[in-house]
């Protein structure tokens, strides 16, 4: 087996980097297109994108082969711009981190809404570019035919948005329960359980759409990539099926179940308390699975590309 140049740390970087971009996209869209009821989701998306991209940068730097011997060397990654796609990506990620930070500050301190929305538009583009970059980086690697696919950037963008949305929704109750003093609106939304539950009902549709698109893209990617069958039968197949079944099909199944519960909830004559709890619990479970799936996708694609010759 060939030596792996990029391993688990880089997979983690691709995962959280994509999720950061996706969460910001969700946050920006919820604020710009959504009404007031989406405000908490918007905040959650934008707040979570910042630590995600910072973690991504930490994973990336730790993975660099010369960081231990030359701690300042990572700064050199800006030099070969725009010839090297990695240099382009470094600039994009830096700009995205800055915009994500400013937008989060504007939200937290209730800054001017118009300025915040302007930052959200810029961050939407940079967040999308960050998620896309993680795929383009692999696609441009001519020595790894498995990665050379026009579907890969889109697969990572869709997976980034799916995991970003899941993470943003997942964090609402977590923040509401553990940090209610700093995030009162999160607490208010979660305390009025029906509002959070109705949000879960609505976002369930978006999660389902994203999940279906991701399945289409993974089929197109595996079907057209040289050595695609390796993922289904080779040593990585266990992780690949875990991604497919636990990270995609199971959340879609849960999504269908949630949609059923949501329509049952809409009939007022039914007792909704039990239904609400079931919706919250199954949604949280589904989010965890989506997040695990997002990481497994990056891991199997990354490793497979380096061992398929």
Partner 1 sequence: MPKAVLVDLRRCIGCRACQVACKRWNDREATATQLNTDPDLEWTNPRELSPQTYTYMRFVKLGTGESLRWSFVKVQCNHCIDPGCVNACPTTALIKNEDGSVTYRKELCIGCGYCINACPFGVPTFDEENRIIEKCTFCSERLKEGLEPACVQACPTDTLRLMSLEEARAIAVQAEAKGLHTYGLHEVGGTSWIYISEVPLTELGFPEHTAKTPAGYQADLLAKVVGTGVFVGAAIVAGVKLYAQRREAVARAEGGE
Token pair listed for 251:
């959340």
Task: Report how far Cα 251 is from the mean position of its chain's Cα atoms.
Answer: 15
Query: How crowded is the C-beta side of 91, counted as CA atoms within 13 Å?
Result: 10
Which C-beta is closer to partner 1: that of 44 or that of 97? 97
Minimum separation from the CB atom of position 218 to partner 1 (A): 13
Minimum separation from the CB atom of position 184 to partner 1 (A): 34
Which chain residues interact with partner 1 by CB under 8 A? 3, 5-6, 64-70, 73-74, 76-80, 83-87, 90, 136-137, 139-144, 147-148, 150-151, 153-154, 209, 212-213, 216-217, 305-306
Do 77 and 61 meet the contact criterion of CB atoms below 8 Å apart? no
Gap between the terminal Cα atoms of the chain: 10
Which C-beta is closer to partner 1: that of 104 or that of 252? 252
Which C-beta is closer to partner 1: that of 116 or that of 144? 144
Q: Which residues, in sequence order, are CB contacts of 50 under 8 Å at separation 6+?
A: 20, 97, 100, 101, 104
Give the total residue count for the chain: 309
Within 10 angstroms of residue 195's Cβ, the number of other Cβ atoms is: 14
Give the separation between CA 83 and CA 152, rounded to whole angstroms.
Answer: 21
Q: What are phi and psi of 265, to 5 degrees?
A: -65, -30
Which C-beta is closer to partner 1: that of 89 or that of 173? 89
Minimum separation from the CB atom of position 262 to partner 1 (A): 13
Which C-beta is closer to partner 1: that of 45 or that of 305? 305
Which C-beta is closer to partner 1: that of 124 or that of 151? 151
Minimum separation from the CB atom of position 171 to partner 1 (A): 26
Minimum separation from the CB atom of position 6 to partner 1 (A): 6
Burial class (CB in 10 A: 0-12, 13-18, 19+), 148: middle
Minimum separation from the CB atom of position 75 to partner 1 (A): 8
Minimum separation from the CB atom of position 206 to partner 1 (A): 10
Q: b/e map of 51-73 (b: 16 or more CB within 10 Å)?
A: ebbebbbebbeebeeeeeeeeee
Do 164 and 22 meet the contact criterion of CB atoms below 8 Å apart? yes
Minimum separation from the CB atom of position 174 to partner 1 (A): 30
Minimum separation from the CB atom of position 305 to partner 1 (A): 8
Alpha-helix residue ranges (DSSP H) falling in the chain: 8-32, 39-63, 85-108, 113-139, 151-178, 184-191, 193-224, 229-233, 237-242, 250-266, 273-307
Which C-beta is closer to partner 1: that of 6 or that of 295? 6
Which C-beta is closer to partner 1: that of 78 or that of 108? 78
Which C-beta is closer to partner 1: that of 178 or that of 256? 256
């Amino acid at each position: 087996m060939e030596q792996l140049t990029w391993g688990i740390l880089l997979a983690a970087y691709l995962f959280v980097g994509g999720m950061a971009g996706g969460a910001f996209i969700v946050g920006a869209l919820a604020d710009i297109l959504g009404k007031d009821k989406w405000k908490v989701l918007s905040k959650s998306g934008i707040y979570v994108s910042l630590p995600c991209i910072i973690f991504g940068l930490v994973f990336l730097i730790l993975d660099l082969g010369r960081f231990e011997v030359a701690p300042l060397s990572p700064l050199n990654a800006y030099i070969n711009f725009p010839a090297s796609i990695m240099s382009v990506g470094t600039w994009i990620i830096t700009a995205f981190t800055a915009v994500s930070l400013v937008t989060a500050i504007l939200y937290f301190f209730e800054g001017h809404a118009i300025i915040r929305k302007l930052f959200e538009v810029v961050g939407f583009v940079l967040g999308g570019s960050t998620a896309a970059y993680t795929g383009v980086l692999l696609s441009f690697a001519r020595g790894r035919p498995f990665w050379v696919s026009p579907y890969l950037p889109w697969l990572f963008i869709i997976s980034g948005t799916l995991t970003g949305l899941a993470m943003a929704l997942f964090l609402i109750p977590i923040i509401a329960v553990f940090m209610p003093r700093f995030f009162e609106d999160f607490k208010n939304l979660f305390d009025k359980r029906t509002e959070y539950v109705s949000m879960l009902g609505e976002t369930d549709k978006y999660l389902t759409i994203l999940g279906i698109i991701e399945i289409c893209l993974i089929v197109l990617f595996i079907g057209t990539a040289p050595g695609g069958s390796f993922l289904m039968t080779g040593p990585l197949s266990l992780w690949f099926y875990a991604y497919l079944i636990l990270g995609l099909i199971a959340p879609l199944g849960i999504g269908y179940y949630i949609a059923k519960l949501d329509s049952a909830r809409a009939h007022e004559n039914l007792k909704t308390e039990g239904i609400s709890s079931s919706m919250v619990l199954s949604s949280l479970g589904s989010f965890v699975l989506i997040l695990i799936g997002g990481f497994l996708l990056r891991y199997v694609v990354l490793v497979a590309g380096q061992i398929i010759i």
